[in-house]
Every structure is written in structure tokens, then in C-alpha cells.
Chains A and B, each alone.
Chain A
Amino acid sequence: MEGWTKRIRIAERIGLSQEYGFSEIHKMLILLALFLLLITAVGVAITFGAYNISVTDVYRIVMAHVTPFGDLSSVTKLHNTIVWELRIPRVLLAVTVGTALATAGAVFQGCFRNPLVEPYILGISSGAAFGAAMGIVFSDFLLSIQVSAFIFGSLAVAMAYFLARIRKETPIVTLILAGVIIGSVFSAMVSILKYVATDAALREIVFWLMGGFYYATWNDVRLLVPIIIPSFLIMWALGWKLNILSMGDDEARALGVNPEKYKFVLITLATLVTSLAVSTVGIIAWVGLMMPHATRMMLGPDHRYVIPASAMLGGAYLLVCDTMARTLTTAEIPVGIITSILGAPYLFYLLRTRGKAMLG
């Protein structure tokens, strides 16, 4: 009881209790609506694809795999392969990656107290791109592009973090600058690898850098979900601490929160999920930057709500974009193009309608 009273006092102090007229019920309803949106998006997305399969067959296949009552005898092996081996892993991977990037974006923006921050701010994308390019150019020496991308993506952030660490503290501005420096170094190294790569390897580096879910398999889902979902839950659980961190280090200390400890935990988790996502599907822009903005405009700045809402909105949004990417034309459209084209007008709309209240 005492803890709860303390929280209310802090909430009043940091202005979360009366923020922008968003009541708790209102926020819960929005979260519920987002959850329903995500479920609906998944349900619809699995029925779309390049190969024409009836909706009944799609659901018959799904039911056969997820319930003990289904029967696959009435569907062809080919249809089963398309729905169960190709479409569903891709849909689940899009949702998982969207969740990861949006959650990481919300956490980074909260930690750095900067709405322009995205999950790639500390050089993850450049590090992962370098790792992937190494995996492609030196494929005889490195076993997997994905592992290499993950290692170098994480390494880039670790280097930025330790570069910025001064006297047991990690000032935000120094950390962002260190991220920019490390990112530039890795970008330059990617350019060197592109320069020395053979024609075919060069095409593969470009293929990888464009990002996309063309290759989604159940193995990717099995690898990502058990790491990303628990990481998301921990970040969500730390949403309250993030609210305090977002006021600044001095304020956090005054309120009894160790900013270094929580920043380290949150940045590590956000880096982990981003590195995993990037190493699996390449660099997908906008989701991590835009979704936290959009949810803040819907729900206010309280990270206890922003994190789950961002995750669900990010998952649904990336799923819609990827469904369009694979069905709009005969070819695959790089999903980053669609995330930008669709996202920019929506964010603009939100800025025009709610931005004044939010940003002054």
C-alpha cells in the first residue's frame, strides 16, 4: 500500500496522472483495441498471398495444425506447404520483428529522452550490416550470415556504450555521439567490403541491406519468439522505471532510482531484440521511430502503456506492410519502402491533430 501511495505521489510529480485527459479506462480500452487489431491483422494476413488458396482451406490447414480436431486430408500437400511452411512463419515473424523494433524504439526514446531516437541509434544497423557483409564475402570462413550480423550488431552497441562511459557514468549525449561514431566506422567498413566483393556477393549484400521477410522460416520464429517476447515483458515491467529515467538522471536519483543500472538493463534488452530482428530480416526503418510516437499521441507518455501499445501497433503495422509488400505486385517490394510511405502520412496526421497537445 505504501509503495502504491509513493507511486501515485511520483506520478503526480512527473505529471502522468492527469496527462492530456487520458483516463486509465480509456488507455485500457485502447490497449484492448490494439490487441484485437493485431489478432485481426494476423487472421487476414494469412489469407493473402501470391498463390491463390481459398480462405476455407487456409483456416482448415491452420486448425489442423493448432487443434487436435483438424483434418488435412481434404487439402493438398502444396497448399499445406504454402500456408503452414511459408505464410504463417512469415506472418509471425513480421509481428515479432515489429514488436521488437517498436518496443526497442520506445525504450531508447525513453532512456535518451529524445523523441528522434530510433533503435539503430547506437550503431546496431551498421554493425549488423557489416557482420552480414562479412558473412557474405567470407562465406567459407563464417558459418552463418545471421550469427555474424547478430554478433557485430551487438558488438557495435557494446563499443558505443563503453566508449561513452566516463567515470562510471554514461551521459546520454556522449552515448549518442559514440553511437554515431561507431555507426560511421562500420558503415565505412561495409563500403570496403562492397568494394572488394564479387558481383554476385555485391548483389547479395544489397539484397540483405534492403531488409525483408522473403526467407522467413519456422526456425526464425523458434529463435526469435522465445527471446523477444520475454525481453518485451521485462521491458514492459520496467516501464515505470523508464518513466522516471525519462525525467533525467538527477531526478531519477532523487526519486531513489539508480539511472545507470536501469539504463544498462533497458539498453541491453532493447539492443538484444533489435540485433536479433536485424540479423534475421535486415534493416527495416521507421517502425522503431514511428510507433512509439504514434502510441504516445494516443495514450500519453506513460511507458507502462506506451511499451505494450507500441509493441502491438508495431507488430500489426509491420504485418500490414509486409502483406502489402508480398501481394501488391508480382515481385517483392522491399518492406522498408512501404513502412515509410504508409507511416509518414499517418504520423503527419497525428502531429496535426494531437501534436499540439503532446509537443506544445
Chain B
Amino acid sequence: MKRYGQILILWFLMAIIAVQINPIDAAGSKTVTDMRGIKVSVPEDPQRVVAMSRSLIDTTMYIFGEQDKLVGGSIYQKGGGYENYTYDGENHRVCTWISFVLNPKYRNLTNVGGFGGPYGTPNVETIASLNPDLLILRDLGTDNEGTAKFLDALERLNIPVVVLEYPDCYDNVSVGTIYEEVRLLGEVFGQQEKAEKITSLMDKQVQLIKDRTKDIADNDKARVLYFGAPTSSKDKGGAGYALGTHTIESIFLENIVNAKNAYNGSTTDIISSERLLSIDPDVIILPTYSGHHPPREMYDDERFKNVQDLKALKNKRVYSLAATPCRDERLEFPINLMIEAKAVYPDRFKDINLEEWIRDYFKDLYGLDDDKAAELMQSLLLRYLEIV
């Protein structure tokens, strides 16, 4: 009898250990391992989701057909995302927020703040008031301490949190991290197949660019400067921001487009006009880091008159990227890579008609008809920024 008792105790202890190793999920929940390496128990079919990213999560959820489950997130609130632009001789009111164009209802969601960006600081109480059964956070790696405190507060509220990590969170910055983020979202929503389709589509474009530029010898690589020129200094000189070699833009430029960053600083730095002249890049790329700037500003504006001797200006090799937020690679990141690749190596991408190529990419990615794709094309400000 005593022996049976010992066996029973042993069995009981083993059961406890087994449960610790492989937790049995509560009814209707499952366990996923997020990008921190933490096992998180999430609802099998989440119904009230808060998404804190700068559009990666909500646009992916749109493709999954899960967009109605969003109750809050990092939501831009100023003017519904619309701004006025003049091009083609007309005034245009354009919304540059792709998630708003895809699903106008996103505008009505509760803003809970975000780490960086125009959303305000994260508000845990607002999140709690939404009574979410899942929160997904894209950690941009900009505020480790703040993020840790925020996650700690959510844990105390028993809100399950899945963390995606932006490529900048890793020493080895790679596009593969973005694919991993999408795959994790697929796992959370049980949409692995669709997630795989998204990553394949993105990777196809990346490989296309890589294949066409991989044989460029080191000496033949174009020297490219990412230059963020402040918008409002209308009457001032040509100083601005240069994106250094450790920025995600530069790493993608060097690893995928196979060009060289002309600026050898490591971070995003302020440079003067004199420094800009001393760098003298072959190509200047204007990202949206300091707003939306078309190349004509550099050619024509009074504030750039002292840098007109730059090779890139003389040879008319200044290009803008599309109006997707800078420093936030998301599902549209291959578009800017293709714009950049065609700008840097036009001969190798002669056959690519950017307008058609971008339209096809949108249609493939989001499964849109021509009208909706045209609306998205407009949100990229392609004409205003002289991309097409």
C-alpha cells in the first residue's frame, strides 16, 4: 500500500513537471513564442486586439481578414491622416496612411499611444479600458527601459502580450526579421498560410533586386546619400540629416541594392552644407525622415543654392522615396527598395515601369481591385514626389 502511495506521489510530481515544460492551454487558448523568446498564452481566436505598431500589424490583419477584431492601437489622429499637396497643377487632399486607406474604420479606433511616432506615450489605463484579450506590440528598439516598464504593467493587468521585434532590435539587421514578424502574426491568428504568402511576395521583390545588382564590383558601386532635409526652414541653407551606415536604410541599401552609403558616420546625424559638398555623392535619396520632399526642391529652392555644384544635382540624380513613413519598414518596404534600386542603377531596371510594378505589388499583397489599388497609389504621393 505504501508502495502505491509512493508511485502515486511520483506520478503526481512528474505530471507537475510535464505541465511546466508543456503547459496545457486553457480552453480556447494556445501558446505562441514571441520574438523575445517568451511563451505567451493567447486566445485561439482573439476577439479584442490592441495593435501597437506603425501599421505593420493592422495592415497584416487586413490581409488576414481579421481587421474587425481591432479595438485600439497606435492611431494617428490629426485630420484623419489627410494633408494638402499641390501637383500636376492642382490641389490634392491625400491620406498618406495606408491602413486608413485600406480600412477607413481604423480612424475610429481608440489611440493608446506608441513608442515613437505621433501617437503620444502609451497609456496603460486606456488599454485596460478597452478590455483586450490580446495586445501585440512591435518593439522598435528605441526605448528599452520604457518598453520593459510598459510590458510589466500589462502583465500585472493579465493582458496577454505578443512582442514583435523590428530589425533594429538585432545586431544583425536583416529583412528576414520582418518576415519573422509576419509569420508570428500568422501563428497568432491561425493564418500561417496567408502569412507565408505575404513573406514570399516580399522576398520575391527583394531577390529580384538582389539578383540584378549582385555582380556589381566594389569600384562600380554608386555612392548614395540618404538626406533628410528639414521642411520648414524655407529661407535657410542646405543642412540636414544624413543617415549613417548603421541605420536600417543604409544596411538595406548596401545588402540588397548593392550600393555604398556615401556618408560614413554610423547614426543619423546633422550635416552642414560644407560637409554635404565634401561628401559629394553620386545619388541623393530623399527619404521621408524630415517630411515629403520632391527632388525639385534641391534643384530649384533658394536654400540649396550653395550646393548646386554637387555631382548628384548637376547630373539630376536626386530621387525621393514614396510617402511611407521612414524608419518603419512594413509590408510596403519592397516598394521603396525598388524605387531606390531603379534610381541608383537605372540601366539594370530599365524594364521596370514603377507605376505598374507598384500597382501590381499592391494588388498581389492586399488582393485589391484596380480602384482601391489606385487609391493606395495616390497615398504614396508618387506624382508629387516625382517618382513616376
Does chain A have a CB within 8 A of B200? no
Across the interface, do B274 and A144 meet the contact criterion of CB distance under 8 Å? no
Q: How far is A85 from B306 in the complex, measured between Cα atoms in Å?
A: 7
Q: Please, which residues of chain B bring their CB within 8 A of the CB of A49?
A: 274
Given A81-B309, A200-B288: A332 touches B270 (CB 8 Å cut-off): yes
Does chain B have a CB within 8 A of A202? yes
Q: How far is A202 from B117 in the complex, measured between Cα atoms in Å?
A: 9
Q: How far is the CB of A123 from chain B (nearest CB, A)?
A: 23
Does chain A have a CB within 8 A of B178? no
Q: Please, which residues of chain A bring their CB within 8 A of the CB of B231?
A: 139, 200-201, 204
Q: Please, which residues of chain B bring their CB within 8 A of the CB of A13?
A: none
Stretch at the interface among A104-112, A210-218, A260-268: A210-218
Q: How far is A195 from B118 in the complex, measured between Cα atoms in Å?
A: 7
Q: Please, which residues of chain B bring their CB within 8 A of the CB of A52?
A: 278
Does chain A have a CB within 8 A of B255? no
Across the interface, do A332 and B236 meet the contact criterion of CB distance under 8 Å? no
Contact of B270 among A135, A200, A202, A331 (CB under 8 A): A331
Q: How far is A86 from B234 in the complex, measured between Cα atoms in Å?
A: 17
Given A87-B274, A215-B237: A332 touches B269 (CB 8 Å cut-off): yes
- Which among B120, B235, B271, B309 has the greatest number of chain A C-beta atoms within 10 A? B235
Closest to A82 in B: B274
Q: How far is the CB of B347 from chain A (nearest CB, A)?
A: 29
Contact of A204 among B78, B232, B274, B288 (CB under 8 A): B232
Closest to A217 in B: B237
Does chain A have a CB within 8 A of B290? yes
Does chain B have a CB within 8 A of A169? no
Does chain A have a CB within 8 A of B80? no
Q: How far is the CB of B243 from chain A (nearest CB, A)?
A: 11
Contact string against B for A residues 58-101, beta-carbon threshold 8 Å, 1 for contact and 0 otherwise: 00000000000000000001100110011100100000000000
Q: How far is A199 from B234 in the complex, measured between Cα atoms in Å?
A: 18
Q: How far is the CB of A222 from chain B (nearest CB, A)?
A: 13
Across the interface, do A50 and B272 meet the contact criterion of CB distance under 8 Å? yes
Q: How far is A77 from B305 in the complex, measured between Cα atoms in Å?
A: 13
Contact of B271 among A144, A210, A332, A334 (CB under 8 A): A332
Does chain B have a CB within 8 A of A9? no
Q: Please, which residues of chain A bring their CB within 8 A of the CB of B288?
A: 200
Does chain B have a CB within 8 A of A348? no
Q: How far is the CB of A139 from chain B (nearest CB, A)?
A: 4
Does chain A have a CB within 8 A of B242? yes
Chain A interface residue count, CB cutoff 8 Å, equals 42
Given A197-B118, A199-B325, A331-B242: A144 touches B235 (CB 8 Å cut-off): yes
Q: How far is A195 from B76 in the complex, measured between Cα atoms in Å?
A: 12
Q: How far is the CB of B167 from chain A (nearest CB, A)?
A: 19
- Which among B117, B230, B234, B325 has the greatest number of chain A C-beta atoms within 10 A? B230
Q: Please, which residues of chain A bring their CB within 8 A of the CB of B237?
A: 86, 214-217
Contact of A200 among B242, B275, B290 (CB under 8 A): B290
Across the interface, do B233 and A331 meet the contact criterion of CB distance under 8 Å? no
Does chain A have a CB within 8 A of B277? yes
Q: How far is the CB of A210 from chain B (nearest CB, A)?
A: 8
Across the interface, do B242 and A86 meet the contact criterion of CB distance under 8 Å? no
Across the interface, do A51 and B274 meet the contact criterion of CB distance under 8 Å? yes
Q: How far is A144 from B236 in the complex, measured between Cα atoms in Å?
A: 10
Q: How far is the CB of B249 from chain A (nearest CB, A)?
A: 15
Across the interface, do A326 and B272 meet the contact criterion of CB distance under 8 Å? yes
Q: How far is A144 from B233 in the complex, measured between Cα atoms in Å?
A: 8
Does chain A have a CB within 8 A of B239? yes
Contact string against A for B residues 248-290, beta-carbon threshold 8 Å, 1 for contact and 0 otherwise: 0000000000000001110001111111011000000000111
**Which secondary structure characterizes the binding site on chain B?**
loop
Q: How far is A135 from B242 in the complex, measured between Cα atoms in Å?
A: 23
Across the interface, do B269 and A331 meet the contact criterion of CB distance under 8 Å? yes
Across the interface, do B236 and A203 meet the contact criterion of CB distance under 8 Å? no
Q: Please, which residues of chain B bring their CB within 8 A of the CB of A139?
A: 231-232, 234
Q: How far is the CB of A50 from chain B (nearest CB, A)?
A: 4
Closest to B275 in A: A50
Contact string against A for B residues 130-141, beta-carbon threshold 8 Å, 1 for contact and 0 otherwise: 000000000000
Does chain A have a CB within 8 A of B291? yes
Across the interface, do A332 and B272 meet the contact criterion of CB distance under 8 Å? yes
Across the interface, do A198 and B230 meet the contact criterion of CB distance under 8 Å? no
Across the interface, do B271 and A331 meet the contact criterion of CB distance under 8 Å? yes
Closest to B288 in A: A200
Closest to B276 in A: A50
Does chain B have a CB within 8 A of A136? yes
Across the interface, do B270 and A214 meet the contact criterion of CB distance under 8 Å? yes
Across the interface, do A77 and B309 meet the contact criterion of CB distance under 8 Å? yes
Q: How far is A154 from B369 in the complex, measured between Cα atoms in Å?
A: 57
Q: How far is the CB of B294 from chain A (nearest CB, A)?
A: 14
Contact string against B for A residues 117-142, beta-carbon threshold 8 Å, 1 for contact and 0 otherwise: 00000000000000000011001000
Q: How far is the CB of B361 from chain A (nearest CB, A)?
A: 24
Given A198-B118, A203-B290, A216-B237: A86 touches B232 (CB 8 Å cut-off): no
Q: How far is A81 from B241 in the complex, measured between Cα atoms in Å?
A: 21
Q: How far is A198 from B230 in the complex, measured between Cα atoms in Å?
A: 13
Contact string against A for B residues 296-325, beta-carbon threshold 8 Å, 1 for contact and 0 otherwise: 000000000010010000000000000001
Q: How far is A78 from B276 in the complex, measured between Cα atoms in Å?
A: 12
Q: How far is the CB of B373 from chain A (nearest CB, A)?
A: 26
Q: Please, which residues of chain B bring their CB within 8 A of the CB of A334?
A: 270
Given A82-B274, A144-B235, A201-B232: A196 touches B78 (CB 8 Å cut-off): yes
List 13 additional A-B contacts (Cβ < 8 Å) besides A330-B271, A331-B265: A51-B277, A78-B309, A81-B277, A86-B237, A195-B120, A197-B118, A198-B78, A199-B325, A200-B289, A204-B231, A214-B237, A326-B274, A332-B270
10 contacts between A and B (CB under 8 A): A49-B274, A139-B234, A144-B234, A146-B235, A198-B78, A199-B117, A207-B230, A331-B244, A331-B271, A332-B239
Interface residues of A (CB under 8 A from B): 49-52, 77-78, 81-82, 85-87, 90, 135-136, 139, 144-146, 195-204, 207, 210, 212, 214-217, 219, 326, 329-332, 334
Interface residues of B (CB under 8 A from A): 78, 117-118, 120, 228, 230-237, 239, 241-242, 244, 263-265, 269-275, 277-278, 288-292, 306, 309, 325-326
**The 6 residue pairs across chains A and B that have the minimum distance between CB atoms:** A331-B269, A214-B239, A200-B291, A215-B236, A50-B275, A51-B278
